[in-house]
């Protein structure tokens, strides 16, 4: 073995405690066939889900496959621009790059006619009034600004309709996720 000896010039100097090494890589995103159909629809102010031919569930945004059956979802279904809040969170923490004024609400919204919620913002009502079951509708950007991006929907706002009943995703499938509703955590029992 060779003895490792620190050169004279490096003895007694302040030790390096951290280094900052920026790295940047550029990527080209390929949405694929199903997501391309969805994004082209959004640019025309239409929301297109896709139905599984086996279990009949409608997915939006579609990725091209049914996660239950592992088969392609080929049938397109045009969805309503309104839906129900199935979960939400109030963002109270400021972070770098934030565009919204805090507090604001990010929600999982299940559009009428679909079986999977999309994530979007809730605006035009106080954050502390957002609740599971609240009925909301899409607020689109001006027609001239429409493009193949979910940002073509500015946010969702309350419709004022009565609250809807909400089936919690996963409830009844045996994962225990649904048992959080009503204040009972999984494993706590009734």
Chain residues that interact with another protein, rule: CB under 8 A: 19, 21, 23, 25-36, 63-72, 173-175
Collapsing DSSP states into helix, strand and coil, what is residue 144? helix
Cβ 132 to another protein shortest distance, Å: 22
Question: Of 64 and 148, which has the nearer Cβ to another protein?
Answer: 64
Closer residue to another protein (CB): 110 or 135: 110
Q: How far apart, in Å, are the Cα atoms of 111 and each of 27, 79, 84?
A: 31, 7, 6
Instruction: Give min distance, CB of 179 to another protein, in A.
Output: 16
The separation between CA 63 and the C-alpha centre of its own chain, rounded to angstroms, equals 14
CB-neighbour burial class of residue 25 (10 A; exposed 0-12, middle 13-18, buried 19+): exposed
Q: Which is nearer to another protein, 64 or 113 (CB)?
A: 64
Minimum distance between the CB of residue 190 and another protein, rounded to whole angstroms? Answer: 23
Task: Read off φ and ψ for residue 145, nearest 5 degrees.
Answer: -100, 0
Q: What is the dihedral of CA 187, 175, 104, 35, to 10 degrees?
A: 170
The nearer residue to another protein, 36 or 87, going by C-beta atoms, is 36
Nearer to another protein, 35 or 87 (CB): 35
Residue whose entry in the numeric block shows the structure tokens 């139905």: 51
C-beta of 137: minimal distance to another protein in Å? 28
- Residue 53: CB atoms within 10 Å: 13
Q: Closest distance between another protein and the C-beta of residue 8, in Å? A: 22
């Amino acid at each position: 073995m060779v003895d490792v000896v620190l050169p004279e010039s490096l003895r007694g100097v302040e030790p390096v405690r951290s280094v900052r090494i920026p790295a940047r890589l550029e990527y080209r995103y390929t949405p694929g066939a199903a997501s391309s159909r969805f994004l082209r629809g959004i640019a025309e102010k239409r929301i297109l889900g896709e139905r599984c031919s086996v279990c009949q569930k409608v997915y939006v945004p579609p990725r091209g496959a049914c996660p239950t059956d592992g088969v392609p979802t080929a049938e397109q279904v045009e969805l309503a621009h309104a839906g129900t809040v199935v979960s939400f969170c109030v963002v109270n923490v400021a972070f770098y790059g934030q565009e919204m004024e805090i507090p604001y609400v990010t929600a999982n919204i299940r559009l009428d006619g679909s079986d999977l919620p999309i994530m979007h913002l809730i605006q035009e009502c106080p954050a502390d009034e957002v609740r599971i079951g609240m009925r909301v509708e899409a607020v689109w950007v001006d027609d001239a600004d429409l493009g193949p991006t979910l940002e073509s929907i500015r946010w969702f706002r309350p419709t004022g309709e009565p609250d809807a009943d909400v089936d919690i995703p996963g409830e009844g499938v045996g994962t225990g996720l649904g048992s959080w509703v009503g204040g009972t955590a999984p494993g706590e029992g009734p």
